[in-house]
Amino acid sequence: MTDYLILAFAALLAGLIDAVVGGGGLIQVPALFSMLPNVAPASLLGTSKLAGVWGTAVSAVRYARQVRMEWGAIIPATIAAFIAAFLGAYTVTKIPSDFLRQLLPLILVAVAVYTFIKKDFGSVHTPIHSGGRERIYAILAGAGIGFYDGFFGPGTGSFLVFVFVRFFGFNFLGASAAAKVVNVACNIAALMWFGYSGNLLWQLGLMMAACNIIGSLVGTHVALRYGSAFVRKAFLTVVVGLIAKTFYDGFLK
């Protein structure tokens, strides 16, 4: 019972953080691996996706109702991410992803430094692409991050936020809203794969999903209330946490 309470709290906290800026898996996945060390890793990852996809979906709906959504970029990125996540999940069964464990913290450091130095980064919502050019960039971005999510995964939501701010000109609030929609597609693609292969703990996953939704509702409310400046600070905090976690996994574990 204690283990289940810990996992419930982890899911709630993960939903809250993920709703603001992504990175909820930083809490939820380690909690599952810690509490259930004898369960197959694929089943734990599948269960985490089952828990997380509901909170992300609820957050996406709430953002869509209150934030200007740039569907011209979001829809192509979402479709591309869905397809690419499948390809990434297939590829990881053929090619080891271990090299990314050491490369990822270096990429995250660059993201954190860039965001910290650019004080006005993501403060104004001024989309810089339109028409066919916007769709092409969105497909490339969605495909790249979707493949990464299926192939490896940590920090996908945070990478999406950074890409929408840096390469599409969104503010942090708009980028976080867009990231939720794309992330839902990635999670559904991965969830279909895990479900097909029988790697899901349904009862635990649905219990954690309920907690994740509660956290997501709280996180979305906080982000909408305090705006892009708050989301930027949360983004930097989560990225620093991701750097520490991925550095440990890549070099010390």
For residue 7, give the 3-state DSSP assignment. helix
pLDDT in the model for residue 129: 83
Query: By the 8 A CB rule, do 252 and 31 touch?
Result: no
User: Which of 47-61, 97-111, 190-204, 235-249 is modeled with the greatest confidence?
Assistant: 47-61
Q: Is the pLDDT of residue 122 over 80?
A: no
Closest residue by Cα to residue 21 from 249, 222, 245: 222
Q: Is the pLDDT of residue 135 over 80?
A: yes
pTM recorded for the entire structure:
0.86
pLDDT in the model for residue 29: 84
Query: Of the ranges 3-7, 11-15, 105-109, 212-216, which one carries the lowest mean pLDDT score?
Result: 105-109
Banded pLDDT at 40 (limits 50, 70, 90): confident
Residue range 47-78, pLDDT digits in tens: 988 999 999 999 999 999 999 899 999 999 99
| Residue 207 backbone class (left: φ over 0; alpha: ψ -120 to 50; beta: rest) | alpha
pLDDT in the model for residue 6: 92
Banded pLDDT at 202 (limits 50, 70, 90): very high
Average pLDDT, rounded, for the chain: 88
Q: Is the pLDDT of residue 96 over 80?
A: no
Q: Is the pLDDT of residue 224 over 90?
A: yes
| DSSP one-letter code for 37 | T
Helices (H) and strands (E) in the chain, counts: 9, 0
Q: Is the pLDDT of residue 97 over 70?
A: no
Percent of the chain with pLDDT over 90: 46
Query: By the 8 A CB rule, do 44 and 29 touch?
Result: yes
Kind and range of the H or E run holding 32: helix 25-35
